[in-house]
Structure 1
């Protein structure tokens, strides 16, 4: 009895510490995170929906790099495919190309010190973003840099849902084929991706480039007339003058709760239809209320989620929300041809959001994300062609399925509800 009492007290103290740590860490983070977005930019976009096609193109562009390759990923593993990727970066660094690799510390935990040393010996600059640190150990362990951004020679950018690991090229049978959406970007928007990479790099290393500093947007911060010729040359290598292309878009980096407001703003614009594609549908209460309001005013809501989950409890966490939306007339589809990891939000075929953020509480409140809003009708029509194929590979989720007596599912839903912030 005494042992049980002692253990109960210890458990209470641990939970209380977690709670205080989280709340204080969150308060500090929310207070210092400034909202950010670009104005309307004009670029050119390709979209990749298969990993093998994406990485064939991605590796080819890295091989052609002349000046620098800047890469931020949430996950890089230590399997054969990851080793091929890292070997390519080492080869480019040995050629004299500047290679900077920024990885989330928790997401890329398989990257060992030995492997980092190998990369650095070849000339690759490596840093880890968002390390677990005092004074808020628990909160900092939950805040992750979930962005996946690459900039090559300041002229080509990549952004989307793919990471580096064998599952992303269909070599993990349970989750194959892997379905995702990843953008290849050219045009003036690449400058912003570069500045955001430098911002994350500076935060993780406490140093920027010799002259660029924190990597802020040079068009805003730097006055070229104050620079000498060598400094202007250095700046232009990272921020070349880029062509104004045809596709209207904006980039929106978010953290510390900013994404919730962004999504709510998008949903409020909807007059006819909303499409949400996400691997994890776990909205906040405010976001869910806005979805229900849209349904009540006659907006047609369609949601696509995976049939097969890649993490425990994420499906059960979504079921209470999906149950209510189905009752309100929404349509829900489960993608069956592999694993659906894509992240998109389309409003009235006028705005298409593609990026790194899931439609879940972790992306809303804890992750650092990067999304792209596209306003081009031709691109959105192309995206709808992609979705037509995805619908063909999906099955409707019915209210009958979610209301059938299932004690195991009900128990999992209760547990998932309690943990939904961290799933």
Structure 2
């Protein structure tokens, strides 16, 4: 058999494999239409490598049982959720801020769908960059008495990464329980020796969905994008800031890194802790049990009056909880919808919700970065923003460094801050976690930060959008077609 015949046979086999996968995507997996078309484009334009790309990035986790909850823990949380749902149905909920009753349908939806209990005894502090966040976090870690739990998508072996590791090592040597959960894809630049000093001091480290075969991971597309820190079960951190010098503005490429992160006390921390325990038990062989040690009673000095729901979502779940909450918030808005996101690649439902709000006379403002950190997502973002500009949506491009904040504010009363971007990856592929805040004072602070960011941004008009170069238009069109799998 000639070389050309062998080559032709191999090509035919690969083409047949692509055809089988295409049939699987269309008729068996029943994916979203946009995702289906995106994968068909991959099979069409990459006939040789398309099936390899699909095996690595296309595995569907939605039907798999990932979490290893203890039965009694599941039943207890279900009992608490059902009890609170009954309280809402009976109109027995008394709001610290009576104006929040207007958003009861949003609260109830998060409770019914995401099992996100509504708590009103929380104190919240807002950070707008990494310097503020890490100064406070390091102080809390130094004061820790029993345990420290950290979970980050990106951990870098740089100045802030090594400083954090050294501090954790010293606390482990003092006898505290220290656990660090990280994502091996987000933290791909870490060497295997980075965590060794912490391990030798008695700390515990786990990787979420690591590769079991070197350089090959069939779950690489499903990442834990959550960022949590829990100190003694009493103090919690949640938001967009990872562990790396760039988040403190120390990397020249980005300059100042504008982000949003929260420090919280109150019952909401118990719910953050529960999410950490579930993720930890999924990744580590050393299982944790939800005891009073990890879920202590809230101290009187830590109690506040802020209403909070902690909403987690992931590809293992039936519904896209954070996306649905975003849509509900936007539909509920009567005065304003303010969005900050580094990546804006919405699905049709979310895009339509924003368009409907703008057409209804709601003041819609959006801030996105003026510089990219992921080029293809940046081009796709411009394409989707172009659908909003003619409707009167004000889009600003942040020019004072890089904008990484993920916030949604409606009517100056309710806000969401967390790890989820306004993109399909966050809604369908990543494990994410957000705090939904029901408090006018905290939301006013977030609003003021938003207005301060506008002063450091340039308004992107529809006229300017129409004048962009042809090459930009081509890039946007191509990346938009691929947006469901970016």
Q: TM-score range by the shorter chain?
A: 0.7 to 0.9
2:150, 2:115 → 1: CA distance? 21
Structure 2 residue 419 is matched with structure 1 residue 356: yes
Q: CA, structure 1 residues 30+345, in 2 after alignment: closer, same or farther (shift >3 Å)? A: farther
Equivalent residue number for residue 122 of structure 2: 43
Equivalent residue number for residue 80 of structure 1: 159
Give the alignment partner of residue 308 of structure 2, picking from 221, 230, 249: 249
- Aligned residue runs from structure 1 range 370-385, under 5 A: 370-385=433-448
Equivalent residue number for residue 237 of structure 1: 293
Partner of 1:199, secondary structure, is helix
Alpha-carbon contact 2:120-2:307 (below 8 Å) kept: yes
2:217, 2:200 → 1: CA distance? 33
Alpha-carbon contact 1:188-1:245 (below 8 Å) kept: no
137-146 or 272-281, which moves further after superposition? 137-146
Equivalent residue number for residue 234 of structure 2: 155
TM-score, normalization by structure 1 = 0.88
Shift of 1:89: 1.0
Alpha-carbon contact 2:148-2:232 (below 8 Å) kept: yes
1:386, 1:255 → 2: CA distance? 29
Structure 2 residue 388 is matched with structure 1 residue 325: yes
Equivalent residue number for residue 277 of structure 1: 340
- Aligned residue runs from structure 1 range 293-312, under 5 A: 293-312=356-375
Give the alignment partner of residue 249 of structure 2, picking from 170, 176, 197: 170
2:115, 2:58 → 1: CA distance? 24
Gap regions ≥5 residues in structure 2: 15-45, 69-112
TM-score, normalization by structure 2 = 0.77
2:150, 2:56 → 1: CA distance? 31
The CA deviation string for residues 308-366 of structure 1, in whole angstroms up to 9 with x for no partner, is 11111222101221111001111000111111000000111121111111111111111
Equivalent residue number for residue 12 of structure 1: 47
Q: CA, structure 1 residues 188+392, in 2 after alignment: closer, same or farther (shift >3 Å)? A: same
Q: CA, structure 1 residues 113+323, in 2 after alignment: closer, same or farther (shift >3 Å)? A: same
Give the alignment partner of residue 61 of structure 1, picking from 130, 136, 140: 140
The CA deviation string for residues 102-133 of structure 1, in whole angstroms up to 9 with x for no partner, is 00121112222222333211211000012346
How many residue pairs match? The answer is 398
2:465, 2:9 → 1: CA distance? 41
1:184, 1:96 → 2: CA distance? 25
Equivalent residue number for residue 287 of structure 1: 350
Equivalent residue number for residue 407 of structure 2: 344
2:330, 2:66 → 1: CA distance? 25
1:70, 1:325 → 2: CA distance? 41
Equivalent residue number for residue 223 of structure 2: 144
Partner of 2:172, secondary structure, is helix
